[in-house]
Structure 1
């Protein structure tokens, strides 16, 4: 029986996570927060790829502003990396992934690209889909993992599957990518079938990605190559050249590569995934039953239900209220109705303007 090649996890950790204000801050964005217990989502992502029979040591691509907290949290879970790449400035996901692909030991290395601020509950299902996608990625397809759509969500992009890929155990060609739809369009896609949420998780050979970038975004590739050619190494940390990297166009992998390439595959999977993109999403992940409150921190409730209470540093008591999001952090308190957490950025900006 032929053994699968080892996969190099690429963990993207440069996001700012402003949608979970006031808990998430530029100094400590959401991937480093302990939202579900003693471990942060960054740490849970590290543990997700700790199986040495399937994965190599991970490549971490993050911000120079967070290197101390990254190293501290890596030590806490005992998953270390000798390949940390620090972006001099944010340029979105396509250039960030290019840095990791250029740093690969061999051009044919398989890269599993994962955001560090997503939750995956069913690790067995995720692992199974990754292993099933290995032959597809080795055949030079750019594989993206499509999440089973459980409702007409308007906050996610969608992927429409095309024809079954010959020889695969569960992958289809990606027919098209759909931007975040309105509710009517989302309902139409679900009724039609064959559409999946775009989770931003990918598997491909390093050279396949770089060749696609050379074809569709050559200016971006040239900037990333120059940045890595002039890199500075300091105690296993890679510092790409700031001026060269800053010249790269800022674009996502979806826009720059996936939507333009003709050999893109989608592997459907249902691993209990969430991008934890809002306080409402956190409530859905944290609640225990249909009418319960989701509480983190010190809080007491009376005649209240369906509230999310996340308190750091102060005690919270509520009585006779329902369907609220209540978050305290330091000297900041935010209260808003559930279902309105998409307005968090505006609320944070209002407070900043007031200051």
Structure 2
């Protein structure tokens, strides 16, 4: 039994519009953009108040499991569970699986807070006021979503029309609206009462399961069987692939929120961005007197209204306007900020060419339960790696018949086992 909210964090998405930092094997939720924490870590911190929240349940996939575990460890935040989705089935199946797990570990009256891990949110008093309104509304049997107060007639978001105001301060949902053309977005902004669909939800487990049984029976059946036949692997719970794969590939919005008569929306005026393009990263950043946002090792001269970021080499930018220059460990992107919505098409071109496809998949640095490694150099029959081991962790013993290894410890103290010898 718990009176606290159980946070459910969705961390399995793969984005390409923030290339070269975001890649298939390390998407934007696990990348540091502005500041020293990733979007996933910022999400963990928003649900870290033990007076309000239980430990989080995280849904992710096989490729990201070590990133999730390591980034939570860096913050010393314990996780209630890390559920691994064996195949991509959108958010309905993921939320249904999480609800099944939460109902078993707590009870069906528990309130779940479903959050994406790839948004930038300012978690101020206004934000937590909205969280408490949502929780109170969910406790009354409503399926609650957070509606962001629009700041512009954006065409990249879905919208929600709010109706009657409830006693808690939330509003009845009149309808959901797909991403509109500009003229329609302008009309809604002028009319008022319309909100951006944030992709965040709050509901009691019992209400959610009832709605899933009514509107998405195939989804809840697949999720229930996937949880019942799940396997435990280290700190991870592997949902059963055969069962999970039978779920329809649909979003939680489409599965129940657009069909239920119990939907409510909390008008949410806190700062929120889905960071879906380099232009949105620039808008959310702290700009200097010339309108520039710079992060990492940069020198910016005679440049305005630009985004300059590096995770590797020093960037020196001169005489530019409305430009994005983004450097990762092994690639650099240069383009106009106004064209940043088209980065996804560029990534498709890179992925289609054998010589550049790897640049869209992985970073030189990979993470493992014991730490990780960075590929420094790959040559003809040799490679050089920089390996970092978390204090107290160890790599497994290995035996190679046709390979020799030379290790140099450059920082810290290592205990090395070679055959029967421990040094």
Say if 1:319 and 1:234 are closer, same or farther in 2 by CA, change over 3 A: closer
3-state DSSP of counterpart to 1:20? coil
When structure 1 is superposed on structure 2, of 9-18 and 294-303 the one drifting more is 294-303
Corresponding pairs, count: 350
Give 2:146's aligned residue.
145
Gaps of 5+ in 1: none
Distance of 2:289 and 2:165 partners within structure 1: 38
Distance of 1:236 and 1:85 partners within structure 2: 9
Give 1:164's aligned residue.
165
Moved over 6 A (4+): none
Give 1:89's aligned residue.
87
1:92-131 superposed Cα distances (whole Å, 9 cap, x missing partner)? 1111111110001211110000001111114321111111
Give 2:124's aligned residue.
123
Give 2:279's aligned residue.
280
User: Is the 2:159–2:178 Cα contact (8 Å) retained in structure 1?
Assistant: yes
Residues 294-309 of structure 1: pairs in structure 2 closer than 5 A = 294-309=293-308
When structure 1 is superposed on structure 2, of 6-15 and 314-323 the one drifting more is 314-323
Distance of 1:236 and 1:111 partners within structure 2: 22
Distance of 1:121 and 1:45 partners within structure 2: 10
Distance of 2:165 and 2:310 partners within structure 1: 48
1:30-73 superposed Cα distances (whole Å, 9 cap, x missing partner)? 11111121111111110101111110111111112111111111
Distance of 1:81 and 1:333 partners within structure 2: 35
Give 2:202's aligned residue.
203
When structure 1 is superposed on structure 2, of 325-334 and 274-283 the one drifting more is 325-334
Residues 161-240 of structure 1: pairs in structure 2 closer than 5 A = 161-165=162-166, 167-168=167-168, 170-240=169-239
Give 2:112's aligned residue.
111
Task: Give the alignment's Cα RMSD to 1 decimal.
Answer: 1.3
* Distance apart, 1:312 and its partner CA: 2.2
| Structure with the larger helix share | 1
Give 1:69's aligned residue.
67
User: Is the 2:311–2:328 Cα contact (8 Å) retained in structure 1?
Assistant: yes
3-state DSSP of counterpart to 2:260? coil
TM-score when normalising by structure 1: 0.96
1:230-251 superposed Cα distances (whole Å, 9 cap, x missing partner)? 1112344211101110111111
Distance of 1:210 and 1:226 partners within structure 2: 14
3-state DSSP of counterpart to 1:345? helix
When structure 1 is superposed on structure 2, of 27-36 and 229-238 the one drifting more is 229-238
User: Is the 2:59–2:94 Cα contact (8 Å) retained in structure 1?
Assistant: yes
Gaps of 5+ in 2: 356-423
